[in-house]
Structure 1
């Protein structure tokens, strides 16, 4: 449980309504407060500036904010609300307003595109900007056309997934992914009562008998035997994963862990896994490769654009690599 709130960014679009519902349930799972943040339109901000400069007491003190009323109406019909719900009307640009609001948040949740986005866009400019710069983890909920229907029963892995629907999928580079990214994935899995599936990719050709698009194998930590038939790179990556996960498995002993080492492109595998995952968690950048803390890595960028479910982009919140 954390005292930091979950922030939902809304703008009156159906996309942001999906984000609002995701944030509401996240706040309930983590037993924390919910902040509903809305950046006022330019017309409202200009009105406030004009009224302030003219000091015209005859004019209404505030510009009507239909989005705020819309949100209150939506939440009034919700089956359950967090103990505290706060509504923030923000000024400035959308990325800057949300960045400031998210400084002390557990996470910031927003839709993949807002009212101004073209229908063909996979990711809106505001979503990309906030995910690239926010000081807290940013969860981007894709619009309905991209959402995959998770199977009602565990699948047989035919889509390249483990067959464990509702899990939290963690994209891990054992040597470079920051501790904050792993901690977020484990905490989210603990709050959901589900499994963390750890996916790492190795960039060598698969064995001649392995199809590139075949389902990857998921191995529980206790099942890592020294199999002489395994691909050496795969075996070494699984061992690196196991070592990296030791402190997190100790901290969250009730969270089941699955490990997968896969050939090929990491982003492609994570996008495939997103079809049946509750959440995909990726680091915003590689601390040892990025030229600055605000850069987004190629894997996070690709997963955000193409995932079929919610994606959490987690920045490095501490000095640990």
Structure 2
């Protein structure tokens, strides 16, 4: 692995030596290859290493070794060097500080394409769905964060369903453009479809069937008719208006539209069983919508495959 600087737009993989983080490293390696960019493997040193470095610096003791042993770096280096194809540039970087702060700092400095990490780290309880570090980084990082689930939640393939579609959770009036752009760029890199899922509230009633499968409706099927649900028709039209510019920018990406009744997070979690990636917006920086935030949080907690949480990277309003 190189020690030199990496170009911009790289993929950062956060590792701690656990099997969960090594699943994320494999996902990040493939993402860097698909996007033709560099890979940075970032490891936040444990407290004992950081204390040792501080002590050595304070004492200026020449008899102490210059570098504290870093078994995580050695394991990652051996894994990558003995494994399959690597991106054109790969670098390992040891970080200091708390895990969320260190990863936020490195992602802010590097302007990466994405930061990839496991859903829980070395110290996570077996029943814990989402570790505190993963939640903190996904909530506050300045770049898209992809959280790869641990073995208990994931399908067998470390990428989820690698041949599956990219699922985009869309609130037509509120989801920032950066979220849509990330989903379409990822689908283009994978050569797959974007399935756009929006949900509307269903009035309570004894005949409501929330768990029924949802239908994928092409734009040409939006004609008015007595059989359609007004909320569905209007939401599909709003979807189409938001998606038109993305269709123009990514003409080779097939698009499926789905409008479903009920809970958006539950629908996205169900879709994650067969998706290559589920993409959700974090929140709009000015509106800080609790609805969007709660959906992202719920999907992170329960998804069966990788989830990308995308912040609003530019000060724009949805069109």
TM-score, normalised relative to structure 2: 0.91
1:142 aligns with one of 146, 149, 155: 149
2:269 aligns with one of 247, 268, 271: 271
1:302 aligns with one of 280, 298, 305: 298
- Map residues 181-260 of structure 1 onto 2, 5 A cutoff: 181-205=179-203, 211-260=209-258
SS of the residue aligned with 1:277?
A: coil
1:77 aligns with 2:82: yes
Partners of 1:123 and 1:305 within 8 A in 2: yes
Distance 1:130 1:61 in 2: 31
2:283 aligns with one of 285, 300, 316: 285
Q: Deviations over 1:55-78 (max 9, x none)?
A: 111110010000000000111122
Partners of 2:124 and 2:131 within 8 A in 1: yes
SS of the residue aligned with 1:9?
A: strand
Count, aligned residues: 306
Q: Deviations over 1:226-245 (max 9, x none)?
A: 33311000000000000011
Shift of 1:220: 2.1
Partners of 1:221 and 1:257 within 8 A in 2: no
Distance 1:236 1:208 in 2: 24
Q: Please name the residue that 2:171 is paired with.
A: 173
Q: Please name the residue that 2:117 is paired with.
A: 110
Partners of 1:139 and 1:311 within 8 A in 2: yes
Shift of 1:209: 6.5
Compute the RMSD of aligned alpha carbons: 2.1
Distance 2:86 2:191 in 1: 20
Q: Deviations over 1:191-229 (max 9, x none)?
A: 000000000000123898762211000012233333331
Q: Please name the residue that 1:40 is paired with.
A: 45
Q: Please name the residue that 1:159 is paired with.
A: none
Distance 1:127 1:308 in 2: 16
Distance 2:296 2:140 in 1: 13
| Change in CA separation of 1:102 and 1:175 when aligned onto 2, cut-off 3 Å | same
Distance 2:272 2:256 in 1: 15
Q: Deviations over 1:27-85 (max 9, x none)?
A: 00000000000000101100100000011111100100000000001111221000000
Q: Please name the residue that 1:119 is paired with.
A: 126
Shift of 1:287: 4.3
SS of the residue aligned with 1:126?
A: helix
Q: Deviations over 1:251-302 (max 9, x none)?
A: 001000000000000000000000000000000114453189xx97000000
Q: Which runs of 5+ in 1 are unaligned?
A: 155-163
Partners of 2:170 and 2:196 within 8 A in 1: yes
Q: Which runs of 5+ in 2 are unaligned?
A: 1-6
TM-score, normalised relative to structure 1: 0.91
Q: Please name the residue that 1:320 is paired with.
A: 316
| Change in CA separation of 1:282 and 1:291 when aligned onto 2, cut-off 3 Å | closer
| Change in CA separation of 1:206 and 1:192 when aligned onto 2, cut-off 3 Å | farther
| Change in CA separation of 1:74 and 1:227 when aligned onto 2, cut-off 3 Å | farther
Partners of 2:20 and 2:121 within 8 A in 1: yes
